[in-house]
Structure 1
């Protein structure tokens, strides 16, 4: 697959046929989501972990080596979303409920979500793509208490405008920190703004950071629309 999935040598237009609303892209997205969800349901969490075991081993080895080569240095990139018709506190309340145990709705937000659950101690466990690599990692420092690095991050926005902040380290089973996340939300006149920053080990290829910024755009857009749908 090419890096730019929207590039096409020809233009095709739907001029007659289906009576329901939407474009061909909308139809394809609906069927792709339905197919992915079917496989998730049939395989189950452990089935997915077994199926992806070799990919996870390879992906985690990549992240571990990248962290070692980077010697504690990270490169950040920020995805910015604007939302109308929903306020930040409503979205974050929905997020809190979802992360407390609604794995199905968390997985549905992105085709490359495979596991989103919590360990017995409440630590989130995520299996998803980091760039082209399938990785299994954990998240720490999530919630009201920011990790020490987050307080001094260049991407931190004024508390007066972005009072809702969450930060986390991404780490492997052996404790190796392989990434960071800083997400910030602030209300606007008709909704809210989301600043979603991910940090990857500095030695990672640029495409790894680029694709995770795209990943953020997809999953948070879908979580926001799910939150709005649940409210209505």
Structure 2
């Protein structure tokens, strides 16, 4: 086979062995989460910060430069999730409690969560924004007080989406490197979540696409965790 030839398609099926439900992908995800949780617990918050110090410095520098080059301009996108079997109020009550101090369940929602804890200047987050590991704070989370959010194109009617949270994402020096606007409205059998994120216009579109996927993963897992806690 030459280098330019495509590899033959391979299909692998599980015929027998494990007695639990799910397939090979489910087993791999379970073990990956278990291993990641072990490393997080062994390292602890400061250990993770020390381990990622160089990545954070590089990521913060990239986002600071992108914000300055964008001169206050942001590009936004929205991930929409539909949930059955749980109301928006029930989910947000769980979320408020988790954000008040249950860092482990917050970290578990996404492989690229490293720190999620209350801080002096807001809620402190260390996670990926695109390929860049960034340490930032969220200010105004849980309120609808941000002027930009009141005028945002993504803002939905209050009658249908009464639960709204908005925030600036900012570095320790005050540089705003992103924004978030999340909106929740009940349906006949659950709720719909509109999760909007904004990144500096100077960032490549891949950075926005990455965070739209990030939203889908973390909020799906938070919703599942909220439902499990309620059961």
Which residue number corresponds to residue 185 of structure 2? 186
Which residue number corresponds to residue 74 of structure 1? 74
* Alpha-carbon distance between aligned partners in 2 of 1:220 and 1:10, rounded to the nearest angstrom: 33
Point out where structure 2 has 5 or more consecutive residues left out of the alignment.
1-7
* Alpha-carbon distance between aligned partners in 1 of 2:207 and 2:10, rounded to the nearest angstrom: 29
- Tell me whether 1:147 sits opposite 2:150 in the alignment: no
Which residue number corresponds to residue 212 of structure 2? 213
Larger radius of gyration: 2
C-alpha root-mean-square deviation of aligned residues, in Å?
1.1
Which residue number corresponds to residue 4 of structure 2? none
Runs of 4+ in 1 over 4 A off after TM superposition: none
- Tell me whether 1:94 sits opposite 2:97 in the alignment: no
Q: Write out per-residue CA displacement over residues 76-116 of structure 1, whole angstroms, 9 at most, x where no aligned residue.
A: 01000000000000000000000001101100000110000
TM-score normalised per structure 2: 0.95
Which residue number corresponds to residue 31 of structure 2? 31
TM-score normalised per structure 1: 0.95
Shift of 1:11: 2.5
Which residue number corresponds to residue 167 of structure 1? 166
Point out where structure 1 has 5 or more consecutive residues left out of the alignment.
1-7
Shift of 1:18: 1.0
Count residues with an aligned counterpart.
224
> Superposed, which structure 2 residues align to 1:3-22 within 5 Å?
9-22=9-22
Q: Write out per-residue CA displacement over residues 27-47 of structure 1, whole angstroms, 9 at most, x where no aligned residue.
A: 000000000000000000000
Which residue number corresponds to residue 135 of structure 2? 136
Shift of 1:158: 0.6
- Tell me whether 1:227 sits opposite 2:226 in the alignment: yes
Quick one: structure 1 residues 212 and 9, their matched pair in 2 at CA, closer, same or farther if it must change by over 3 Å? farther
